[in-house]
Amino acid sequence: MSATPLSQQARAAAPYMEGLNPEQRAAVEALDGPVLVLAGAGTGKTRVLTTRLAHILATGRARPWEILCVTFTNKAAREMKERVGAIIGAAVEGLPWLGTFHAIAAQILRRHAELAGLKSSFTILDTDDQLRLVRQVIQAEGIDEKRWTPRYLAALIDGWKNRGLTPEKLPEDAKWAFADGRGGKLYALYQQRLADLNACDFGDLLLHNITIFQKDAGVLAEYQRKFRYMLVDEYQDTNVAQYLWLRLLAQGTNNLCCVGDDDQSIYGWRGAEVDNILRFERDFPGAQVIRLERNYRSTGHILGAASGLIAANRERLGKTLWTEAEGGEKVQVRGLWDGEAEARFVAQEIESWVSRGRKYRDVAVLVRAAWQMRAFEDRFLMLGLPYKVIGGPRFFERAEIRDAHAYFRLVLSPDDDLAFERVVNTPKRGVGETTVRKLHEAARAAGASLAETARMLVETDEIRGPARAGLKAFLRDIDHWGSLAGSMRHDELAGLVLDESGYTGMWRADKSPQAEGRLDNLKELVRSMGEFDTLEAYLEHVALVSDLDTASDGDEVSLMTLHAAKGLEFPLVFLPGWEETVFPSQRALDDKGAAALEEERRLAYVGLTRARERAMISFTANRMIYGRWQAVIPSRFIDELPPAHAEAKSETGYFSHGGAAGVGEPAAEPYQASYDSPGWRRFQAARAAGRTGDVIDGRAREVSSVAGSGRWKPGDRVFHDKFGYGRVKSAEGSKLTVAFDKAGEKKVIDSFVRETP
């Protein structure tokens, strides 16, 4: 027997390599120099990433603390830790530099805070605190905050930070984006306020890192030496600041491996630059590019439909995904009357799926915007169909949780002005706006914190009456809790603070229906604190994590936005609301034009590629948006689906028989339309001619959408989803009176469509 080649021996010695395809193996073994792994949807990206990490460790190329591994979400970081741990069987605690961009940047910043003008105990502000601070800066400058809103400035500052721009580096023209050229000054003032508070916002974590690295060559060199291998997940979603940060660090060993998919870049509106991934080979000369193109997730038709769709994008590197699971079901496209009909349809399909022995948990409904969820929730609740909303209101962003955190922050540092301001009058202590303004002014004059200032003023006659008593009690409480901090378990202390402050009492006295839920949340909060060693550790955690783990493994349908669905997969996926203005979102198109359209298309691509076995797209003719009826036309993305992989079906007859926006005789029998059916062609023709139906909101003051007021004449024949056929009796202003054939009664209705002759 001939000797086994060495390479094969090495592979045999590495069981974790078992089952990898050649591309995946190449991505794991390309260890020298920059590497870009273009990993299409469902091609085993996480597997490659974790195996690569294990491989680096197993071959002794680096020790655990010499690897930097960055993800975007805590969930991804956690999953990675678990999977690496499972492969190498070692204590994954030994991977201290595996985490999110922000967590790692915070870790580095705490070590060198003084180089950024902070103390290492700095607090990390959330968006709410950030907004309040921006408002204060605007007010202090005497700028009209109606005309120039804090929200807008906060968004600008965020954008600048995402692009790695400190106030000093801000280009002249950028300053003109706010308050007649005062944008730059306000930005600088905001940064000064942050420094005074020993605080930073999310954007600062990376920005300060970059500043430190650029200012102090010694510190940079330390990290460049330390990180012998660098791995980055979801590279297509990095922003300029993250790119700069990575590039600075990578200049040491140059062993940077980025994994991503340009076709799944969907966070451009948050500052992500697809350009980073498109430019990789130029940014990192000598880079290897490895494509993972074998898809293990979806059927051939689903993959074909998704690939056909994404091919319409110009800005992409290009991949050809393939699968051995050829065939399967074509992607189905359904036209429906309105959102209610769509929800009925989806629910019915789910029930029939389950009646065939499948699970609710195998199903996901993916919407473009959160408001679309309501119609589905209503229907699911009515039917008792089990579902869960993923990524709903965030636990740590709820008012009661943030109030509680403010109390905890005060216990640790009474000089935390933002926390002080937040809860000084919650519950009511008679300390109103006037008193707080007085404190602010005095604090500014004295260069002291609000708490310090309050201590002084309550001893004078500046503050009198209930405000004085309230403040005194508040300060006394803070001191009292602070003195307990050393000697008590922090979760017990937390419960005590919430009780003694009267905060839980406030909610107990509240008779509104939400109050009970808020009390539950507070209880859950105190419970979850027990999982941390100290109050400080807990607060650091919540600052960098957006939500509690709500890992429920119940048998429930998942309802979420397309954004929230990235990284997930389901046997059956519903993609409702594929209508122009909804998806692609008109708002996005208005803001950013062609680039936004490509991003919307990528979002559609992400949606489709979540499906393993079956994908169902639907659209409606009438959509209620913000209480307004709108006539809508099918999304252009539907036209871009290759007919070889998608088919249009209709059982309602709305669009298959439709003249305009699906108005017409309901089909006598379930009607199966294909892509070139007469009904589909009529529908397209009506759409091309702009005849999309006239829609009236019976209660609105004016006729909405394409409907022209006064275009209705007595005798017009109309069709309504609920009431069937009818004739217009009178049309005065926006009020229409219609007699329906079936019911034979006159009635003003919410919406209907005029039949096209």
Partner DNA sequence: TGGGGGCACCTTTTT
Partner DNA sequence: GGTGCCCCCA
- Report, as residue numbers or ranges, the catalytic residues: 45-46, 233-234, 264, 610
Which residues of the chain form contacts with DNA (CB under 7 A)?
Answer: 72-75, 100, 102-103, 127, 202, 234, 237, 267, 269-270, 272, 368-371, 391, 394, 425, 428-435, 466-467, 544-547, 560-561, 563-564, 566, 585, 587-588, 591, 596, 624, 626-627, 699
CB closer to DNA, 395 vs 655: 395
Closer CB to DNA, 140 or 644, in the complex: 140
Minimum distance from CB of 267 to DNA (Å)? Answer: 3
Query: Closer to DNA at the Cβ: 276 or 677?
Result: 276
Shortest reach from residue 510's CB to DNA, in Å: 10
Query: Which residue shows structure tokens 């937390």?
Result: 494
Of 334, 329, 328, nearest to 346 by C-alpha is 334
Q: Is 615 helix (H, G, I), strand (E, B) or coil?
A: strand
Minimal distance in Å, beta carbon 298 to DNA? 22
C-beta of 162 vs 191, nearer to DNA: 162
**Rounded CA gap, 580 and 637, in Å?**
9
Contact 742, 730 (CB under 8 A): no
In the chain, the amino acid numbered 444 is R
Beta strand pairing call for 331-338 and 199-200: unpaired
The CB-of-269 to DNA minimum distance in angstroms stands at 4
What tokens appear for 91 in the block? 């204590």
Quick one: 544 or 695, whose CB is closer to DNA?
A: 544
- State which residue, 429 or 623, has the beta carbon closest to DNA: 429
C-alpha closest to that of 265 among 281, 280, 285: 280
Q: How far is the CB of 100 from DNA (least distance, A)?
A: 4
499 CB neighbour count, 10 Å cutoff? 11
Rounded to a whole number of angstroms, the minimum distance from the CB of residue 346 to DNA is: 18
Reduced 3-state DSSP string for 511-573: CCCCHHHHHHHHHHHHHHHCCCCCHHHHHHHHHHCCCCCCCCCCCCEEEEECHHHCCCCEEEE
Nearer Cβ to DNA, position 591 or 676?
A: 591
Q: How many CB atoms are closer than 10 A to CB 695?
A: 26
Q: Between 577 and 662, whose beta carbon lies closer to DNA? A: 577
Cβ pair 726, 663 in contact under 8 A:
no
Residue 100, CA atoms < 13 Å, CB-side half-sphere: 17
CB of 540 to DNA, least distance (A): 11
Closest CA to 506 of 425, 436, 431, 434: 425
- Could you tell me where the DSSP H helices lie in 13-99? 22-29, 45-58, 74-88
Provide the minimum distance between the beta carbon of 127 and DNA in the complex, in angstroms, as a whole number.
Answer: 6
Q: For the purposes of burial, counting CB atoms within 10 Å of the CB of 538, is it exposed (0-12), middle (13-18) or buried (19 or more)? A: buried
Tokens 């959160």 -> residue: 370
**Rounded to an integer, what distance in angstroms lies between the CA atom of residue 619 and that of residue 606?**
18
CA neighbor of 701 nearest in space, from 728, 731, 735, 746: 735
DSSP characters over 580-614: TBTTTBHHHHHHHHHHHHHHHHHHHHHHHTTEEEE
- Residue tagged 């020790």 (tokens): 63
- Nearest distance from C-beta of residue 366 to DNA, angstroms: 10
The token pair at 588 is: 């996005």
CB of 440 to DNA, least distance (A): 13
In 614-641, which positions are buried (b, 16+ CB within 10 angstroms) versus exposed (e)? bbbbbbbbbbbbeeebbbbbbbbbbebb
User: Please, which residue, 147 or 314, has the CB nearer to DNA?
Assistant: 147
DSSP assignment string, 161-221: HHTT--GGG--HHHHTTSGGGTHHHHHHHHHHHHHHTTEE-HHHHHHHHHHHHHH-HHHHH
DSSP 418-445: HHHHHHTTSS--S--HHHHHHHHHHHHH
Rg, the chain, Cα only: 30
Distance CA 487, CA 481 (A): 10
What is the rounded CA–CA span in Å between residue 724 and residue 383? 24
Q: Least distance to DNA from the beta carbon of 481, Å? A: 22
Q: Give 498 or 596: the residue with its C-beta nearer to DNA.
A: 596
Nearer to DNA, 100 or 323 (CB): 100
Q: Nearer to DNA by C-beta: 350 or 603?
A: 603
DSSP, collapsed to helix, strand or coil, labels residue 276 as helix
Listing DSSP states for 103-131 in one string gives: HHHHHHHHHSGGGGT--TTPEEP-HHHHH
Shortest distance in whole angstroms from residue 599 CB to DNA? 8
**Closest distance to DNA from the beta carbon of 363 (Å):** 18
Q: Taking a C-beta distance cutoff of 8 angstroms, is the pair 559, 376 a contact?
A: yes
Which token pair is 551? 């890992």
With 0-12 / 13-18 / 19 or more C-beta atoms within 10 angstroms meaning exposed / middle / buried, residue 692 is buried
Between residues 103 and 331, which has the closer beta carbon with respect to DNA?
A: 103
Cα–Cα distance, 547 to 556 (Å, whole number): 20
